[in-house]
Structure 1
Amino acid sequence: MNTKILMTSCALFLAIMGILLSFLPNEIVEYLNVKPNIITILFLKIMSALYLGFGILNWMAKGTLIGGIYNRPIAIGNLMHFGVGAIALVKIASNIQIHSEIIISLSAVYVIFALLFAYVFRTNPIKTEK
């Protein structure tokens, strides 16, 4: 599998999420009908930092071999993030009443990335010619 495409798409997804959470936390809270307070905004900004950090990690690792024994921490970190996130989102998706389209969309993205990173983690990389 060509992990450069996977890492690039994952980095872009995480960067977009991080930028949205960083620059639009008040609008996101308002759209989700959550009571805005300083703690909610703080948590969204901290979550934004996590998304941006993971995004830049994936962007910087996109040109390296990933899988098997190569860059194992990057593969398992991404698998853990997307795997646990996918489980949490899928559990919520069937019970949520409002904004279900957002949760279902995020669930689909997280499940796809979790499956792809599980595959990368379990297989040995193949060096491709540039």
Structure 2
Amino acid sequence: MDLVVTNLGDHTISILFGWGNGDFQAQIKYEVDREPNHVMSGDFNNDNKMDLAVLGRLSNHMDVLFGDGNMTFPIRKREPNHVMSGDFNNDNKMDLAVLGRLSNHMDVLFGDGNMTFPIRKR
């Protein structure tokens, strides 16, 4: 079991990888957009590695951190304020549904399995 913690004060998240015995390795911090307050995990690019979607409380961005299996996560930016994941179009690839904080719309981003979400439906 691993743990992800949002750190509002320094605009980071901390990832603590579990040893499997109830203890955790030292935290690894990743800088994200302003005041992260929501994290969702899933395999968003179908590579059998866990990825993270992080929403900022005071921004219109979502950071998507794609796991590489070596405990590192390159960051990609997106633009909502609430997110949920699932395979919404039944293609065996993870998709994201996102709500805009300053607008009254929801976007569905269909994952292509290559770390991008090229198809966007409003």
- TM superposition score normalised by structure 2: 0.25
Give the number of the structure whose residues are more often helix, by fraction. Answer: 1
Which of the pair is proportionally richer in strand? 2
Greater Rg by CA:
1
Greater relative contact order (Cα < 8 A, sep 6+):
1
TM-score, normalisation: structure 1: 0.24
